[in-house]
Amino acid sequence: MSDQSRAPETPSLHQRHRAVTPAWLATYYSEPIELTHGEGRHVWDSAGNRYLDFFGGILTTMTAHALPEVTKAVAEQAGRIIHSSTLYLSSGMVELAEQIAGLSGIPDAKVFFTTSGTEANDAALLLATAYRHSNQVLAMRNSYHGRSFTTIGITGNGAWSPTSLSPLQTLYVHGGVRTRGPFAHLSDADFIAACTQDLEDLLGQVGGNVAALIAEPIQGVGGFTHGPDGLFAAFKRVLDRHGILWISDEVQTGWGRTGDHFWGWQAHAEAGPPDILTFAKGIGNGLAMGGVVARAEVMDCLDANSISTFGGSPVTTAGALANLRHLLEHDLQGNARRTGALLVKRLLAADLPVVREVRGKGLMIGVELVDAAGEPSPAAAAATLEHARELGLLIGKGGLAGNVLRVAPPLSLTEGEAVEGADLLVEALRRAQAQTFGPEPRP
Ligand code: PMP
């Protein structure tokens, strides 16, 4: 056969992914995975492999893959009308807003629906800066809040902040990371006191009017790390004195994921609810939905029109309502508390030198990895991901140094699956440890 007559080789999906930005998937697995379907807590790839999904819970799948109630609600609504809820009344949008406002803990709350967490935080910052007539904001070091011009500007984690230009002036506050930084050696009470004093000093230096503090109760992309309970209550007392709003970014911590509480801010509840709360990701169980909850006085401060064509559309609200109903009726918050505790216990019992810390709340568990010298080991995290995949387990990673494994299964995880997943993860960690420490781990 001549060269001309040879059929050109068909490029793989991986090669064709060049056409898409970002190329993020190249950093996750040496051979990227194409997921084709899911059920419960499991997903399948295009090669027919089945995985226990220990990460989808944060990305999209709050309750379970292919939850029949969500599928039915979405299909029924799509069969009736796929439209925008912006110009016309929509019973689904109103019902969901009433439910979320009631659950939020914010008095006299109103909800604005968006299609993502980025757009939700953007809208929250728009509200706060308009309400306070200021473009100065406070954000936490190591934080992540999205990828729009405004949210990149306030994101404290440099790896996710590809431009230093910003429409906002941002000051960064200590407190999101308990085990690193100048206050790491302090007791919880002293840590809170030191971070609060640092905030006071910062505000003293600024002099002017600051609009808001935006913070994740548990930093997600930052590696499932958080300050002591009560930290934001102490912050809020300072903020209140200056009239500064508190925006709680609950994109990862909402809907009972942290087990003990429905929202992350409730671990700091002593000083009352935040002024503004943002949500996204899991509420749509995979459908694009986010939103902002705020006191009516704050929400109503914009006097020009401001709408989102697809925010709160009939199809996404139908799916989100079914998802939320399932979550509440099956007490998935309680389930997160129980199965999360089981998972942590099992991971700790393995007592592996490669693991520096197992932390987190409910089904939001971070596993921080180190090398034989005790230094952060992104290599061990990357190796654990690959071994876990071979064993049939999907997990996430994050943290400033890329050395933290993130475990966040759908909230309907069974006890059997918690034990199975923990054992697979321990085995993957053992293999990664042998690879990165050498065959003889330090005693
Ligand atoms: N806030 C937090 C805490 C997040 O984790 C994320 C997403 N990783 C966002 C905001 C942005 O959400 P989205 O990707 O839906 O824009």
> What are the tens digits of pLDDT across the range 19-63?
887 656 656 888 889 999 999 999 999 999 999 999 997 777 799
- The token pair that represents 115 in the structure block: 């299609």
Q: Which of 52-66, 228-242, 277-291, 393-407 has the lowest mean pLDDT?
A: 52-66
What is the average per-residue pLDDT within 110-118?
97
From residue 285, alpha-carbon distances to 78, 94, 137, 289, 391 in Å are 16, 19, 31, 9, 26
Give the three-state DSSP class for 312: coil
ipTM field: 0.99
- The token pair that represents 262 in the structure block: 């429905």
Q: Which of 114, 115, 119, 144, when mutated, tests ligand 1's pocket best, judged by the most ligand atoms within 8 Å of its CB?
A: 144
- Residue pair 407/69 in contact (Cβ under 8 Å)? The answer is no
Kind of pairing between the strands at 212-215 and 169-173? unpaired
- Residue pair 42/53 in contact (Cβ under 8 Å)? The answer is yes
Cα R_g (the chain), whole angstroms: 22
Burial (CB count <10 Å: 0-12, 13-18, 19+), residue 361: buried
What is the average per-residue pLDDT within 153-182?
89
Please tell me if the CB atom of residue 155 comes closer than 6 angstroms to any atom of ligand 1.
no
Q: Which of 14-18, 127-131, 202-206, 296-300 has the lowest mean pLDDT?
A: 14-18
What is the average per-residue pLDDT within 426-433?
98
Closest residue by Cα to residue 114 from 335, 379, 293: 293
- The pLDDT of residue 320: 98
Q: Which of 145, 160, 247, 257, when mutated, tests ligand 1's pocket best, judged by the most ligand atoms within 8 Å of its CB?
A: 145
Q: How far, in Å, from the CA of 219 to the mean position of ligand 1?
A: 11
Q: What does the pLDDT look like over 327-383, one tens digit per residue?
A: 999 999 999 999 999 999 999 999 999 999 999 899 999 999 999 999 999 999 999
The neighbour count for residue 241, using CB atoms within 10 Å, is: 10
* Atom number in ligand 1 closest to CA 117: 12
170 bridge partner residues:
137
What is the average per-residue pLDDT within 293-300?
96
Please tell me if the CB atom of residue 287 comes closer than 6 angstroms to any atom of ligand 1.
no
pLDDT > 80? residue 407: yes
- Residue pair 326/399 in contact (Cβ under 8 Å)? The answer is no
Q: What does the pLDDT look like over 216-228, one tens digit per residue?
A: 999 999 999 999 9
Please tell me if the CB atom of residue 55 comes closer than 6 angstroms to any atom of ligand 1.
no
- The pLDDT of residue 1: 45
From residue 36, alpha-carbon distances to 44, 46, 56, 281 in Å are 6, 6, 14, 20
Residue ID of nearest Cα to ligand 1 atom 10: 145
Assessment of whether the complete model's pTM goes beyond 0.90: yes
- Residue pair 342/334 in contact (Cβ under 8 Å)? The answer is no
